[in-house]
Amino acid sequence: MKILDFPDSVRDRIVPKVSGTYVYRCLACQASFDVGKLLYTCPQCRSVLMIEDRDWDRLKKTPGPQWRQIFDYRAMIHEPALKGIYRFHELLGAILPLEAVIYLGEGHTPVVQANGRLKDWAGRPFFFKNDGQNPSASFKDRGMASAFSYLNDLITNQGLGHVLAVCASTGDTSAAAALYASYFIQGVTSAVLLPHGKVTPQQLSQPLGSGARVIEIPGVFDDCMKIVEYLAEQYPVALMNSKNAWRILGQESYSYEIAQVFDYNVTDLVVTVPIGNAGNITAVMAGFLKLYDLGIITQLPWILGVQSHHADPVYRYYLEPNPEKRVFRPVTVRPSVAQAAMIGNPVSMPRVVQLVEQYRSIGGEKAVQVVQVTEQEIMDAMLMANRNGHIACTQGGECLAGFRRAVSQGLLPEGKVGVLDATAHALKFAVFQEKYFEDRFEPEFGIEPKMELQNRPVLVRPPEGVPCPRPGTAMDSESFRAFVTATGDAIASILGLRP
């Protein structure tokens, strides 16, 4: 749609202008710092940072209904920079000129309703939001679009020289960082740090294919994270993990899209996310709080965080009902099929603590809840989902298992509707499906495959004496007919077909 075709009420707001004053805000000491340079922790007290718009209140001059119109109409303009997360430019990147935006097709992922069978299994109606349909096949692309657009602005407009983008990863973050870095013609290269043997082959192939330097170390993600934090403190590198507050801003788009898809009526929704490094739940809460503050939504949806019993520090923290008595203790993780969330010391924990408090102060105690699920539940739920038309990864399975668990524990009253985060594409985690189907899980996972959820290929050969096709060798038509008939009949018998 051309600018002149938009209604007068929104026309001059469709293409956003640079506005606002962004600062890094330290969550502990409240000091603020210029966003003109890369910063990941507070130089004064070393706590994590969030990005704050000092001129936020200017956005309140636009009433909520008008914001909704602007965002809805913006979906109709053919401007690449506004096709992805920057449809919500004013909320997550107001200081960035559109020319700096890196758009690789991220965002606006499908929201797919569960069919009746799956709804009954879960106990409540729900939708999956398929973030595996992002360009590198996970939700991390949202945050990377933001962090790399910011880098692009520093390079093109603020004289930053060559940047080495580094990250620690369980797989998805590295795939996304390497993909976005590879888009730059000059100025940015990437190096990713992975725990050796704890990333699926599909995930390992992604940064390799994008040309990143891939470094593996013994240990788990938490160990890799400590090393990249050290690198970011000691060397001139750009840290692309969600410790980087620009990542959080981009991931807020997940909430904005949910609000938009549900016509900004999110009152009954239970937005369900797995918790790993906790950047995602941070961004989701921050996003809905911003929408609420601007009157774009009138009530906050509930948030349900889910953790495996093999990596559950956040769940344990909130087990203590008295906020005064809560103490955060990192845990030593055990093997998890929800490998992306196999994290014992989430870097965003201080952000979570503050945002949960803020969120609950508006939405009530139940507005944020955290549940724990078993590895068995995660696998069973993922397979159930995918047998009912979805493409959920193991973390998507974790969400469904958590949602179902919350229903069975009476945490989600009648009338609530889930929106579950399928954080990555199922294909990235196919190894766990294979282990389940072939009953090859190592004992520490504690997973007993259920026969009704297993599936194996069946090799059908024609009976002795019937010729078989061989690659590169032509068959005469009579032999080929004999092969088709014998094999077809054998398959029909397996499938129980009658002529």
∠ CA 50-52-55, nearest 5°, is: 180
Q: How far is the CB of 385 from ligand LJ64HWYM (least distance, A)?
A: 20
Is 396 near ligand LJ64HWYM (CB under 6 A)? no
Residue number with CB closer to ligand LJ64HWYM (169 or 394): 169
Q: Least distance in Å: CB of 369 to ligand LJ64HWYM?
A: 22
Residue selected from 152, 206, 210, 241 as contacting ligand LJ64HWYM according to rule CB under 6 A:
241
Q: Does 340 engage in binding with ligand LJ64HWYM (CB under 6 A)?
A: yes
Minimal distance in Å, beta carbon 170 to ligand LJ64HWYM?
4
| Residue 178 or 371 having the CB closest to ligand LJ64HWYM | 178
Cβ at position 389, least distance to ligand LJ64HWYM in Å? 25
Pattern 265-304, ligand LJ64HWYM, x by CB under 6 A:
-----------xx-x-------------------------
Site for ligand LJ64HWYM in 138-167 (CB under 6 A): 140, 167
Under the binding rule (CB under 6 A), the answer on residue 250 touching ligand LJ64HWYM is no
Instruction: Output the smallest distance, CB 2 to ligand LJ64HWYM, in A.
Output: 38
| Cα–Cα distance measured from residue 140 to residue 208, given in angstroms and rounded to the nearest whole number | 17
Q: Is 210 in the site for ligand LJ64HWYM (CB under 6 A)?
A: no
Nearer to ligand LJ64HWYM, 152 or 282 (CB): 282
Site membership for ligand LJ64HWYM, residue 350 (CB under 6 A): no
User: What is the smallest separation between the CB atom of 351 and ligand LJ64HWYM, expressed in angstroms?
Assistant: 11
Q: Among 109, 134, 242, 433, which residue sits at the site for ligand LJ64HWYM (rule: CB under 6 A)?
A: 242
Size of the site for ligand LJ64HWYM (CB under 6 A): 14
Give whichever of 118 and 355 is closer to ligand LJ64HWYM, judged by the CB atom. Answer: 355
Q: How far is the CB of 417 from ligand LJ64HWYM (least distance, A)?
A: 27
Residues 6 or more apart whose CB falls under 8 angstroms from that of 77 comprise 1, 3, 6, 14, 15
**What is the per-residue binding string for ligand LJ64HWYM in 162-181, x denoting contact by CB under 6 A?**
-----x-xxxxx--------
Rule CB under 6 A: which residues touch ligand LJ64HWYM?
A: 140, 167, 169-173, 221, 241-242, 276-277, 279, 340
